[in-house]
Amino acid sequence: MADIWIDAVTAGRGERGPAEASTLRQYNYHKDRYILPALGHVKLCDLTQAMILDFKAKLLKNISRALARKVITSLKGLLNEAVTQQKVAVNVASKVSIGKDKKDTLRATVPSLEHIRLILAELDKLSTQPNRQQAKAWRRYRALIAVAIHTGMRASEARGLPWAAVDFDAGKIHVRQRADENGDVAEVTKSDAGYRSIPVPQNLLQMLRAWKIEAGGHSLVFATKSGEPMSLPNIYNRAWKPLQLSLGLTSNVVAGNGDIQRDEEGKPIVEPLYNFHLLRHFHASMLIADNANPKEVQTEMGHSDIKITYDLYGHLFVDEESDKRRQQRSERLANLLG
């Protein structure tokens, strides 16, 4: 039944389209690593809610609450498909859930302005180095990273960005498509809110104009030599990671027991301080710092729900006028008490 479920989500179920490669990879991981080892020996007709609750308890004991919640969600999806296929009458996992812990409420990690300035300055140096071949490669990476910084576009959106969506006259980038991790370009974004137009500064437009001249005539702004979307692992390993390592923007790799991992010479093993997605959070933080309201941030970031915006960036919104009103109110209330 697990493989039937995977086939169903691959093809698309009901009104849902085919699952993306990253989603399928996650589902297969949940299936192979957790669901089948624990429940694969049980016939569907013999599966009970008590078994699911026991499975849930073991998950919570051995893995993070967030991952356990995702595994249970995958199990529910599998059993929903079993109901659709009339293999069972009811989904015995439907009422089993893992609520969010306050510890799970994640505030977005935001790269510092100083570090972003360092990164941009280093990209300028690398893109003008004497080695022409390497300089050209870095000019592509510089344009890509600058787009991420100035627009907050998702990596998949930037990788799938066509030149036709770069509006040099209006000074905007229109987000209309994205590239998945397999390099397949879809004409729709993650949600309807993903369709948006983002104003961009003149210096970025100038950089993109210059890059367009030497890009190779492909339809995509950031394409490989064959015209395909660049892969995120290549962007990370060939540009984003070495860029941070060279600037010392690193953190120590820590083992599960809390000890710092070391190499054969006893030196601490380090990793880049920021993943590529954090450039998206940086852009949001800059919007908020410039007094953009929550709705404006939601629109520019392409969030489907304002709650996502508040969950990620609510701690960054500061309303000084509101703080003043609250202070004055507290004084008035105190005066009423004499």
pLDDT in tens, 29-48: 999 999 999 999 999 989 99
Total-model pTM: 0.74
Q: Across residues 158-178, what is the average pLDDT?
A: 95
Question: What are the extents of the domains in the chain?
Answer: 2-104, 113-247+273-338
Alpha carbon 145 to its chain centroid, in Å, reads 15
CATH superfamily, with its number, for domain 113-247+273-338? Intergrase catalytic core (1.10.443.10)
Q: Give the pLDDT confidence score for residue 107 in this predicted structure.
A: 62
Q: What is the mean pLDDT of the chain?
A: 89
Residue 102 has pLDDT above 60, yes or no: no
- Residue 290 corresponds to which amino acid? D
Q: What is the rounded (10 degree) CA torsion for 15, 18, 22, 25?
A: 110
Q: Considering only the C-alpha atoms of the chain, give the largest distance between any 2 of them, rounded to a whole number of Å.
A: 78
- pLDDT surpassing 70 at residue 294: yes
Structure confidence by residue, pLDDT tens digits, 229-240: 999 999 999 999
pLDDT digits (tens, 9 = 90+) for 69-79: 999 999 999 99
Band of the pLDDT at 7, cuts 50, 70, 90? confident
Superfamily of domain 2-104: Tyrosine recombinase, N-terminal domain (1.10.150.130)
Query: What pLDDT score was predicted for residue 303?
Result: 93
Residue 104 has pLDDT above 60, yes or no: no
Looking at residue 74, its amino acid is: S
Specify which residues 268 forms β-bridges with: 262
pLDDT at 280: 94
CB atoms within 10 A of CB 20: 18
- Ranked by mean pLDDT, the top range of 8-12, 53-57, 263-267 is 53-57
